[in-house]
A = this chain, B = another copy of it.
Amino acid sequence: MAVSRVRQWTLDSAGGLCPQRLVLEHVTSRWGVLVLLALQERSFRFSELRREIGGVSEKMLTQTLQTLERDGMVHRDAKPVIPPRVDYSLTELGQEAAAQVRSLAEWTERRLPAVVRAREAYDESRAPGSSS
């Protein structure tokens, strides 16, 4: 399969990220993950989504939504009313992305105990005083 060729996933000739890597970056980015998970449930208005996620600045939410919209994952529905009302939802492509991300998120959650144990073992194995 094509993905087995690791070099394909590294830098492009110009020193930037390859196209597929950019998409992966967008959907797994700090806020991208949370936007996809939230919108998978239902559509949200901008401020509503901001409250739902929590801790995200206006700037970053705007940027994340625009990136995902450009990538064809998010649909933006701006109603021409005053005050402005904009609804965000997932496209077909976005639903697929959200499903992938959710799968990864659920694996992470399932295996978190194993990771925590590994960390404790790792930290203890080189803790100061362990050999005195």
Determine the chain B residues whose CB is within 8 A of the CB of A4 once the complex forms. 37, 41
- Interface SS, A side: helix
Determine the chain B residues whose CB is within 8 A of the CB of A103 once the complex forms. 100, 103
Determine the chain B residues whose CB is within 8 A of the CB of A24 once the complex forms. 28, 33, 104-105, 108
Q: In the complex the two chains form, is A34's CB within 8 Å of B6's CB? A: yes
Determine the chain B residues whose CB is within 8 A of the CB of A101 once the complex forms. 104
Known contacts being A33-B24, A70-B119, A93-B111, is A105 close to B3, with CB within 8 Å? yes
8 Å CB contact of A10 from B9, B28, B34, B121? B34
- Can you show 23 pairs from A to B with CB atoms below 8 A apart? A1-B106, A2-B106, A4-B37, A6-B38, A6-B52, A9-B37, A10-B53, A11-B55, A20-B105, A20-B108, A23-B111, A24-B28, A24-B104, A25-B30, A27-B104, A27-B108, A70-B123, A71-B115, A72-B114, A72-B119, A96-B107, A97-B111, A101-B104
